[in-house]
Structure 1
Amino acid sequence: MHRNALLGGAAAIAVAWAAAPAVAQETINLTVATGHPEVFLWVKHIKETFIPTVDAELAKAGDVKIDWTQGYGGTIVKLGSEVEAFQQGIIDVGQMSGVFNPATMGLLNLTYAMPFGPADARGVTAAVEAALTETEGALAKLEEATGVVYIGGGIAIDDYNIASTRELTKIADMNGVKLGGAGPNLAWLAGTGAVGVQGSYVSFYNDIKTGVYDGNIGWMTANVPAKLYEVAPNWNLTHFGAMYIGGMGVSKQQWDTFSDGTKAAFRAAAAAYTKAYFDEQEARYDAAKKTLVEAGGKLVEFDPAERTAWIKALPNPTAAWIKAAEARGEPVRPVLEAYRDRLKATGFAFERDYLAE
């Protein structure tokens, strides 16, 4: 009798547990968008690596799920209007890049202020992120100016060079040549006689084809997929170096609502994004160079002595950048010094020490 009562009680408890509602899963609606299309690796891996990794990390705990709205290639946010889109709540997750948002994310353009640097994109990114995180107030100032939290996911582009309709082997060849480029890299042309024109990969092909300009400042793994060798077949090896273009960001308004576990999932996804990006970029580089040559493009060596003369004669791009950044209240000099010193520790020294001038 007593045993039956115990069994009955146990059964009642089991029924009660079965009938109890499961722990509610929170669904967060987030919009992620970019101005560039998916043909570019930094966009491709948001979709293929970042988002799936966030979802997989959150699934381990099972208490949070993201309902993603995705828009690439300017369908939700136009190139250069990312900060405003974050601030207006149009997007919640995206890339923080200073190239097209210099007024508020200009701190992230530090490598553009120190051209003719190393070609190692992975190493450049590691040095930049170390400089940003180790310099007191750097990321806090960025967050204050934009309302966006930098969560990692830094990336850099492979070695910048010049594509053009004619060969460029010395400084005199550049006189009068019009070259498209983003704002920060047009300063590299000062003193060469070349004319910089604001542009981007969204418009480079048609602008070169129609004669708006004669070529572009760019990098192999973007120029080749964009088939710019069809309109600017000469790949002139000026070796400006790999350039850090930013990382992943989340609207502070959204970030502050995330649990610690959700924040950790996003940071893990940012790290996975960086690795996947560089793994594919490095794998693509040699294939892109092969495609360029096979499609009729030509690798043109820029005379090393002419390159040295160019570096020495260039109006110091770091000085101008520091002045503008300090006017925004950013701790730029210690960031640049940390970046330079981190590269030096890995074996790279700039041919010209911009910061010593």
Structure 2
Amino acid sequence: MLTARIDLGAIAHNTRVLKRLAGDARLMCVVKADAYNHGAERVVPVMDAAGADAFGVATLEEAAAVRALTDAPVLAWLWVPGQPIPDGVELGVPTMEHLRWLIDAPSAPPAGTPLHIKVDTGMHRSGLGRHEWDEAFARAAQAGLNVVGLFSHLAVADDPADPYTGAQAESFQEAVRAAAAAGLSPTVRHLANTPALLSRPDLAFDQVRAGLGLYGLEPIAGGDHGLRPAMTWSAPVLAVKRLAAGEPVSYGLTWSAPRDGYTAVIPAGYADGVARSWQGAFTVTVAGKQYPQVGRVCMDQFIVWLGDNEDGVRVGDDAVIFGAGGVSATEFAAGVGTINYEVVCAPKGRTRRVYGGDILAGEKE
């Protein structure tokens, strides 16, 4: 009953838009977390056909699955030394421990495995620190490792006014120079994520890593680059109930009807990704009209207040949680106090995906 409708035509459109914006740089499509919960098996071939030059994922398991769907390079950057490395996968190298294992361990992948060394330019999450660059680059060069890439992650590119991005870019340039001085010549330097692609074309280098924008969501508040949201999350109205003024609803009796009126029950709960903490902070849309969620979110269902139900909401009507016909994922995120990245990753449990959309529409736009 609970459905995530995925518009593959929107995915194709967004890929083409971002490909154009990337200019001469390669477009890496980031499809980690099952393509931001849109379904990598269906999404990757669409992106591939629409102009993707490479794909990026987090884990090796994800990399193996994506590698089976495309002939384009697939980079994984979350792994630990000793893990079996799938054939044909490119590896990010985030620490000296990873580099030492690649050089010294008998179980390491073949020396020709394409590697992307990750440098920490100020996000302080993973990546080689500045004090490690010279040793790491020298060891990689001396060992004859196939270092094809150098990359880093930006911390605040979604705020174009923040000067920290510029400082990170300068640090990245320093890393590029240090790698060259050590005898490395990576041909795929990549720093820009979707917000940097949209706001800092000077940071494109050889490749950009697009993520959120591929799924039609703007990473910068107020931005509009003609992207089309691909996901709509909805469920049918399960029940409509009449309430008298003062009658409470759901567990804990945390909300009571302010007057005589009606509620609707929607069959989606925290087991499906509707967080319990979202209570009272979001709406659903039925036939173009928004209705507030009230009372505790349960494991399998939540309740909305219809007031007088003057528009005649009834059992079986489609209630849009976010997406086409309702609020956007970005608007929904603002209401519940999170970001649109998390919102599109929320649908789970008994949510089933349904695919549609013309992937060839606007191909030459």
Same fold (TM over 0.5): no
* Higher strand fraction (1 or 2): 2
Structure with higher RCO (Cα < 8 A, 6+ apart) = 1
TM-score (norm 2): 0.24
